[in-house]
Amino acid sequence: METPNRNLDTISSTPSSTTKEGVLVRKEDSGSTISSGTEVGKVLSDESNTAEPSTSIEKPEFIDTSNSSLNTISSSPSISSSTTEEGGSASEEDNDSTIPSKTDSVLTIENNKDQSVQEVESMKLIPIYCLYNDTNGEHLYTVDANEKDVLYHQHDWGYEGVAWYAPASGRAVYRLYNPSLRNHLYTMDTNEVRVLTRYHGWQSDNNGRPVFYSGGAVPIYRLYNDGLRGLHHWTTDKNEYVVLPRHGWKQEGTTFYASQIGEPIQTQYASKLIYNGQFYSVRGKYGRMIIVNKKHPLRSDYHPGEDATAGVQVRKLIGDMQKLGFPISSSYSGFRSYSDQTQLYQNFVRANGQAVADRFAARPGYSEHQTGLAFDILNSQGGSLTDASVRWMHANLHRYGFILRYKQGKEHVTGYQYESWHIRYVGKEAEDIYRSGLTLEEYFGIPGGGY
């Protein structure tokens, strides 16, 4: 089987703090750092309040476009600006700063020839490049094409395309970095910059100058994850903004604005599929999760055998069902190699034709059984599982770390007809998926359906 192309999201390290020619410079110093367990929040409103460094500052809420109240976050370096929907309180002199970009990073919109030079200049758009680090879950946003290339080619970050286009002038946005937490923060609040860099171990990137500007009609939403070192994520994708709270993120409203939506390679952070040369996976709440369906195959020589933890749990599930009196066989159909699946699939095709076989049998390389994480539960008396067995099993699978993989009425999503007996081990996130009522594809926003 032809190996799928490597996904651009494959990454492993954090941005280097080493100064490189043409790269936004991170100012290194020996300032105090803030631990991930320190509660920080609202920046102090004036210098008189900052005479004594504080390790616990109340965090305000961002104001979103619906004016709904937002959760207060703690135990992280989450510092939200005290802002309006525009997202900051930068002074006029801050907004006059020159943005550090190369001339080839500026996209000029073609206008009618009779437009004045001033009108054309006012419509210059700055591409904001986005990179993603799968190791620590962080996104990095930069106008510097050289920084983008250096990180992508030399530091194993994945390039995700242009996140959005910023105006050439407007409300100044600053970028901070905390070397202890390995987090970046983007803010328009100059007082927030001052407090964080002075007392909490953060450093100003780009020598304290703006890294881009806010302005336009496209809202940029901000989310926060206390479980990932207080990471923040910025996105123009409203659907992503809605999906991420299912995965431990908290909505913080509109933080600033863009002039135009970009052309990201993938817009949904929740569905960032990584291909490692053998299988695709997505980041879940508790770690990476292998994804196999008709759109995302396994390599033919991937042969992990039965997953040890999944094997223990499926036998525990079967044993408990037997104790309750359900006619469940101690035998089950678990791991299948690529060659095993080839033979099985060919038998089904000969008996039913390919179109019919594809509805209930996976082609070789496309079967979850090859991961060692999928199991078919069998009736001890032969035939299908009893209705009572199915009801109990489906209501309790998540307690053992399993989900029902091919749900009723979801063939257009999963690619397969309803299978009451086919379960998939996903670990601790099984309960979240079960409570959502969604298929694995729907839960992570992953493409599914046919080949």
Task: Show which residues are catalytic.
Answer: 419
Reference 134, options 302, 304, 279, 276; nearest CA is 276
Which CA distances in Å does 361 have to 346, 353, 384, 406, 412?
A: 10, 11, 17, 12, 15
- Closest by CA position to 86, among listed 206, 10, 184, 189: 189
Contact 189, 81 (CB under 8 A): yes
* DSSP per-residue string spanning 17-44: -S--TTSPPB---------TT-B--SPP
Strand partners, 224: 232, 250
- What are 236's two structure tokens? 């123009």
Contact 157, 23 (CB under 8 A): no
Six-digit token string for 62:
């961002």
Looking at the DSSP bridge assignments, the partners of residue 131 are 140, 159
Q: Residue 259's closest CA among 67, 113, 109?
A: 109
